[in-house]
């Protein structure tokens, strides 16, 4: 929807619209990355350990991801215990990879900035525009 004009020094060059808020939140990024690398899924306990989340936070973020259809959560009842197993969905994989591509652009941009001399005094002598 955004009007990406060229003249104004590149338009919203650094807006990173693709950094989907559902995925970008740190705990959820952590959960989705765990699930991306474990294609057979992970239990609630495993996710807690991998992502260093409390029960409450894990439940809350899984609910957000499930509502966005990025993960599936299945509960198995056996021997009086309930095991919760989470997997990233096909749509979740797709959206995660799209997100990752934007993240790569952030790194490319940030790394380009890192190569610049942070001290403006260096170029003052040559009267920049």
Site string for a second copy, 92-121 (x = CB under 8 A): -x--xx--x--xx-xx-xxxxxx-xxxxx-
Residue 75 contacts a second copy per CB under 8 A = no
Best CA proximity match to 91, nearest among 57, 66, 59, 60: 66
CB of 79 to a second copy, least distance (A): 19
Distance in angstroms (rounded) separating the CA atoms of residues 63 and 55: 12
Q: 74: which strand partners?
A: 85
Judged by CB under 8 A, the stretch of 50-58, 66-74, 75-83 that binds a second copy is: 50-58
Distance in angstroms (rounded) separating the CA atoms of residues 60 and 58: 5
Judged by CB under 8 A, the stretch of 34-42, 60-68, 69-77 that binds a second copy is: 34-42
86 membership: H or E segment, kind and range: strand 81-88
CB atoms within 10 A of CB 90: 10
Interface residues with a second copy (CB under 8 A) are 2, 8-17, 19, 21, 24, 26, 29-31, 33-41, 46, 49-52, 88, 90, 93, 96-97, 100, 103-104, 106-107, 109-114, 116-120, 123, 128
């Amino acid at each position: 929807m955004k009007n990406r004009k060229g003249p104004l020094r590149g338009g919203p060059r650094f807006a990173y619209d693709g950094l989907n808020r559902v995925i970008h939140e740190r705990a959820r990024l952590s959960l989705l990355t765990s699930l991306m690398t474990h294609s057979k899924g992970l239990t609630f306990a495993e996710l807690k350990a991998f992502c260093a989340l409390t029960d409450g936070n894990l439940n809350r973020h899984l609910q957000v991801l499930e509502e966005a259809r990025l993960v599936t959560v299945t509960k198995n009842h056996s021997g009086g215990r309930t095991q919760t197993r989470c997997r990233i969905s096909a749509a979740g994989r797709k959206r995660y990879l799209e997100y990752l591509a934007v993240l790569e652009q952030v790194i490319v941009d940030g790394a380009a900035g890192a190569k610049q001399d942070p001290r403006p005094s260096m170029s003052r002598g040559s009267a920049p525009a």
